[in-house]
Structure 1
């Protein structure tokens, strides 16, 4: 392709003749708009730096040139991250932000009118630049620039609201675009809570709320998007947004958003649903469950069928955010048939990767590469199914009955890492099912691709595959054998030594799952690879999650016959094992967890107590060994008064096993243990627990008391 006329236009930019420079800028603008090839060409010809230099010229003498330069920069940056990088590297952000400054000492609306075409071009360019997630945000947050942005948004939103109905005049349309683009920039600059708070402190929320009532649809959508990002995981700003009211109105912002969820425009409905979902997740939404379930959730389910633009890509992620970590919301999703609709969407895009010529309906006609759109819809549908099936068995049943498993297995073998990752997350959620449903996963052939993903090029995918296998190896002896035969034990051991905390945790967790209800030969196979020395190190890891799983490994190792227990005592060492138990049973004082939440403490205490229980269940020698340590005995008795019922139950089982007799030959040892427990006041503690709030505790108390008082001492 000849480049002479394009090179000539670059030369003309250096002309001293303003008319010639303006003509060249218009030629470049007309060449690059909508043309990726010409954008790349002009970047190579060095146009970006010249355009940035134009932005630094004074308004008074170069107003028209600056408008064209900003327009071309915005066009070059639009649609491709590499182009944004070129614009950013040329230093475009600062002069573009500087161009937002309004002339002082004149009414703000008049100051905007003086340069509204330039403001329109500049804000459009900034929107294109900040759409790229890698664009640096620091320059936005200088005092001058953040003040200019808010002033511009405040003035344009007030102007638009006072107009009432949108006007078709060029000024009204221009003000609407300036407000839209400015709100869009703000929406892309809320990556951290610090940034959210800076923007809120600068006064950005009231004008965004005003824009919701401006009547300019695109400005309303941008304002909703900005409010959604401002309140994401930020309850303080969520509270402010909920109670914010627009000019001349008493309508709460949330009521306005609920109206938008019912809007005819799919994009408006989705953005409003996103904003309400983010508010709901802060925990401060007004009457959250009713409004979300009756309005937002059905709207999202309906949007799953809407092929407009990128709706089907985005809606599953909003749905995932809405239902994750909430049993009530997952039940509502089940009732709304959301999982079945997600399964349909997944099925419609689960043909072979990059199958551009498929004649089957794919459900995402949109703009751009069909293969890329299918990839994104498939990934996000899997993420949503994973979120919707995480906590409730009926949701998992609905997913499996909706025939998602073949598509999950196919996605595990996708050439796209993000699809493989989402499929692993989905397999992990579904594998939390009761055994008959987990059998469905095994029968569907999920094991082989998961095992293969343990060697994936992505560490994140490896960790996710490992997490899914953790659940699948719990009850299935054939599955355990497949994992062992595939050499996965060594891989899990390798993970357990990883510097990546997620991978390390999942590796230890997977080893623990393999040991659950395992026979002695499987235990020996795991420990031959892991080694007891490495296990001791894991027991003292700073990460409480890894400590918990390491303790669970010991718990599973000592579950069984006397030979199982003796193998562990020999492997760890008698004194070292007792030292570990002594330390973990005094978790609140010895583990440095003061100030940690009680859940963390319980996660350490519970497996430690069950190690004591399992060791005390078979023969006399381990009981005697445990009770040789006063700190272990005193800790168990102390935990009879623990605030958690399950810790009280575990402590009671320790007492029950210590007061159980295996044979008449052990009666003398039993009497000695009972005398010691009596002297420590255990009987009085048990009597005080007879009216415990937990039925399980009360039942165990009766057994413990019966055994404690059954032998004359």
Structure 2
């Protein structure tokens, strides 16, 4: 055998003895190995290479082996687990987790603690084997049962909970077995290493789970609720790490509907804390956690967004994240993560925070967009190889693209559509909803001559129509909605050539499928597309001359269906547009069924439907247009004029004006 440093250290034949059957020398040898591998990665590696792991696991499951020796074996395994990722993975692959989980059922507390310490180290790895915790239904109840045995059991089990609760099913299993009642007292522990994993456990339990969040908010210890205990941990005399963890718990309770955004706990405690964590005097990790938690906390609440935007120069602070290049602040406290790219972490956190800040308010969006070189940073982010940066950048762009003013100005000066279209065509599937939604916004452009030298024209030239039509055929309703929404926006005030391309691409068969879609939002946008296609007299007549029969079939199909008033109103507005064409009026006048439906809706109880139907009639009888007298005579004969006279008694000002206009045409 090649001589090694381990052999030099007290004669490193100890491993050979452990692997052999010299039982009387095992204890002495395992202690030698333990002392040698502690803090020495080279020795850990050599021990693993010599095959010590299977022997140690064998001892641990052998009831005939003295408990002291089994305990030493668990301690050595725990030490080996603190080596390289490769050694840790070797430990997991050898089946150590199941052996250690068996070990914690032992009556000997020292052995149990050694097993738990090793499990804790394993589960701090980047991708812990979480499923193994849930394979045996007795594991979670047993952990909860022994958690109060010692400080070690408290620290290790809360750490395990914080690392093995990743799904709603996990959350429910932990809660069902009494996790909340067990964790609440530990929030008041005086031991930092117990409090921190307890906070992290509560956070993962509540994350995106309304039921658990509400149960957590009502749980108490010594008459004090968990939210009240969490607020105490936000105090300035607590460490930044603890304040951040407590604020995250309160954030998840708020987003889970257990605390109101307007409550003092959120508005004056949690929100200021996460904003404070974004400052330069905090660690990089706290900066990232602070911005990410801020983004999640305020994401759906305009009031919190408004308060955050004017708090502690947050927009300027986040802008600094985008310019981060080297270590300007304290290093991270994280020990189980390797090779963190802090530039990317800070960028994605800033983009996410900006997206939430600008979700609803035009003035806030303007302040964000005025950040130096922001659009360039977003474009760079969308081109990033880092999927988190890419996703956050497009979310930020999506939020800012809700601004009509910015679409007309800032967005005209930057080619954001290029990386966006690339992401839609070549990016990850899980970003398709947000990227296609952003594309819908970019297609809203209100300047004249919009098809010439505009971003919209460039998007059109890259095959956007085909992409959007493809989306309308997807199984996911969000994608179908974005597809039809984008086509609707593209058709708005477009050239006839573009409208014709849209109709040819989508086809009448797909259009009817969308009109039968179970999602009312998709149906509404499909009707919006038809309405936008049928705008402008020449366009209306041209499109109706080719597709008039199918469009009228679609109108009747919807008017006869069981749909909401909003959908019926949109359909009547399509008829109004058809009635505005010179030649297209005939499609309505020659269809008595449609005319009778118009009369029915003129007498409807819903005033919006009355207005829509009356406006359509007004277009049909407009005196200045050819054939008006003949159309008036037919409608008068059908009783339309009498209905209009009855409607003069309406108390609705808009309906009254429309009725007056229509009656004037009858003369």
Structure 1 pair 453/179, CA: closer, same or farther in 2 (3 Å)? same
User: What is the root-mean-square deviation of aligned Cα atoms in Å?
Assistant: 3.9
* Contact 1:228/1:275 (8 A) holds in 2: yes
Match of 2:66 in 1: 61
- Count of paired positions: 646
1:199 Cα deviation from its structure 2 partner: 1.9
Q: Distance in 1 between matches of 2:55 and 2:408?
A: 62
Give yes or no for the alignment of 1:282 onto 2:286.
no
Deviations 1:190-215 (A, max 9, x none): 33333323322211112211001111
Give yes or no for the alignment of 1:426 onto 2:396.
yes
Q: Distance in 1 between matches of 2:174 and 2:496?
A: 61
Give yes or no for the alignment of 1:324 onto 2:302.
no
Match of 2:196 in 1: 221
1:25 Cα deviation from its structure 2 partner: 5.2
* Contact 1:25/1:65 (8 A) holds in 2: no
Match of 1:644 in 2: none
Moved more, 363-372 or 545-554: 363-372
Structure 2: 5+ residue stretches without partners: none
Q: Distance in 2 between matches of 1:33 and 1:627?
A: 92
**Greater Rg by CA:** 2
Matches within 5 A, 1:250-649: 250-263=223-236, 264-285=238-259, 288-305=262-279, 306-308=281-283, 310-337=285-312, 339-341=314-316, 343-349=318-324, 351=325, 361=328, 372-403=341-372, 404-436=374-406, 438-475=408-445, 477=450, 478-498=454-474, 503-542=479-518, 544-564=520-540, 566-567=542-543, 570-571=546-547, 574=549, 576-585=550-559, 588=562, 607-619=570-582, 620-624=585-589, 628-629=593-594, 633=598, 636=601, 640-641=605-606, 649=608
1:426 Cα deviation from its structure 2 partner: 0.8
* Contact 1:411/1:419 (8 A) holds in 2: yes
1:302 Cα deviation from its structure 2 partner: 0.9
* Contact 1:146/1:202 (8 A) holds in 2: yes
Structure 1 pair 22/455, CA: closer, same or farther in 2 (3 Å)? farther
1:569 Cα deviation from its structure 2 partner: 6.4
Q: Distance in 1 between matches of 2:275 and 2:322?
A: 16
- Residue 454 of structure 1 aligns to a residue in which SS? helix
1:423 Cα deviation from its structure 2 partner: 0.8
Q: Distance in 2 between matches of 1:449 and 1:530?
A: 25
Moved more, 376-385 or 194-203: 194-203
1:678 Cα deviation from its structure 2 partner: 5.3
1:290 Cα deviation from its structure 2 partner: 2.7
Equivalent in 164, 174, 180 of residue 199 of structure 1? 174
Structure 1 pair 226/669, CA: closer, same or farther in 2 (3 Å)? same
Structure 1 pair 363/607, CA: closer, same or farther in 2 (3 Å)? farther
Match of 1:129 in 2: 123
1:650 Cα deviation from its structure 2 partner: 6.0
Q: Distance in 2 between matches of 1:149 and 1:466?
A: 46
Match of 1:666 in 2: 628
Structure 1 pair 638/229, CA: closer, same or farther in 2 (3 Å)? farther
Structure 1 pair 564/83, CA: closer, same or farther in 2 (3 Å)? farther
Q: Distance in 1 between matches of 2:154 and 2:484?
A: 52
Q: Distance in 2 between matches of 1:492 and 1:42?
A: 59
Deviations 1:288-323 (A, max 9, x none): 433212111111111012542622222222111101
Matches within 5 A, 1:176-215: 176-215=151-190
Match of 1:118 in 2: 112
* Contact 2:70/2:111 (8 A) holds in 1: no
1:520 Cα deviation from its structure 2 partner: 0.9
Structure 1 pair 384/709, CA: closer, same or farther in 2 (3 Å)? same
* Contact 2:74/2:118 (8 A) holds in 1: no
* Contact 1:364/1:370 (8 A) holds in 2: no
* Contact 1:301/1:338 (8 A) holds in 2: no
Match of 1:165 in 2: none
Q: Distance in 1 between matches of 2:257 and 2:440?
A: 32
- Residue 466 of structure 1 aligns to a residue in which SS? helix
1:396 Cα deviation from its structure 2 partner: 0.9
Deviations 1:196-250 (A, max 9, x none): 233222111122110011111221121122222222233333333223222xx33
Equivalent in 76, 100, 105 of residue 96 of structure 1? 100
Structure 1 pair 658/243, CA: closer, same or farther in 2 (3 Å)? same
Deviations 1:604-659 (A, max 9, x none): 55654543343334342244367633795488568753xxxxxx536623332223
Structure 1: 5+ residue stretches without partners: 104-113, 157-174, 352-357, 590-600, 642-647, 691-697
* Contact 2:485/2:525 (8 A) holds in 1: yes
- With normalisation by structure 2, the TM-score equals 0.84
Matches within 5 A, 1:20-39: 21=26
Structure 1 pair 435/639, CA: closer, same or farther in 2 (3 Å)? farther
Equivalent in 143, 153, 156 of residue 149 of structure 1? 143
Give yes or no for the alignment of 1:705 onto 2:659.
yes
Moved more, 304-313 or 258-267: 304-313
1:2 Cα deviation from its structure 2 partner: 6.8
* Contact 2:381/2:390 (8 A) holds in 1: yes
1:87 Cα deviation from its structure 2 partner: 4.4
* Contact 2:644/2:663 (8 A) holds in 1: no
Structure 1 pair 685/703, CA: closer, same or farther in 2 (3 Å)? closer
* Contact 1:473/1:480 (8 A) holds in 2: yes
* Contact 1:581/1:632 (8 A) holds in 2: no
Q: Distance in 1 between matches of 2:277 and 2:48?
A: 39
